[in-house]
């Protein structure tokens, strides 16, 4: 109702000019500027006593209970944010924040 109408030549209404399309044409190359962040600081929650207990069982078979389930295998290594567990011939990396508890297996493999 509020759009302008142009009457001329025997009251003929002209079609409005279509708006410019806002889509990216495939012919134009994209102009991306690489952004390199400065002063990035990574943080992680470290539980030194828990990590120390895990290190005491390095190379031994353990059972790790996580928030999603239970894993059994040989503790290969302990890192700041995860552990490496060899289970059924596969290396599995488990985040420390997902571990609920672990227990050492009594049977040596």
pTM strictly above 0.85: no
- Using CA atoms, how far residue 19 sits from 16, 22, 88, in Å, is 9, 9, 63
48-104, which class in CATH?
A: mainly beta
13 in Cβ contact with 6 (< 8 Å):
yes
What is the separation of C-alpha 22 from the centre of its chain, rounded to a whole number of angstroms?
31
Give the per-residue pLDDT at 109: 46
pLDDT tens for each residue of 25-51: 666 666 777 777 788 887 877 889 999
């Amino acid at each position: 109702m509020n759009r302008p109408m142009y009457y001329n030549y025997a009251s003929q209404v002209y079609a409005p000019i279509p708006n410019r399309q806002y889509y990216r044409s495939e012919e134009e190359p994209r102009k991306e500027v690489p952004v390199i962040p400065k002063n990035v600081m990574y943080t992680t929650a470290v539980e030194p006593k828990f990590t120390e207990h895990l290190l005491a069982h390095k190379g031994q078979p353990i059972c790790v209970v996580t928030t999603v389930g239970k894993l059994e295998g040989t503790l290969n290594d302990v890192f700041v944010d995860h552990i490496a567990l060899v289970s059924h011939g596969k290396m599995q990396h488990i985040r420390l924040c997902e571990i609920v508890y672990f227990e050492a297996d009594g049977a040596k493999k």
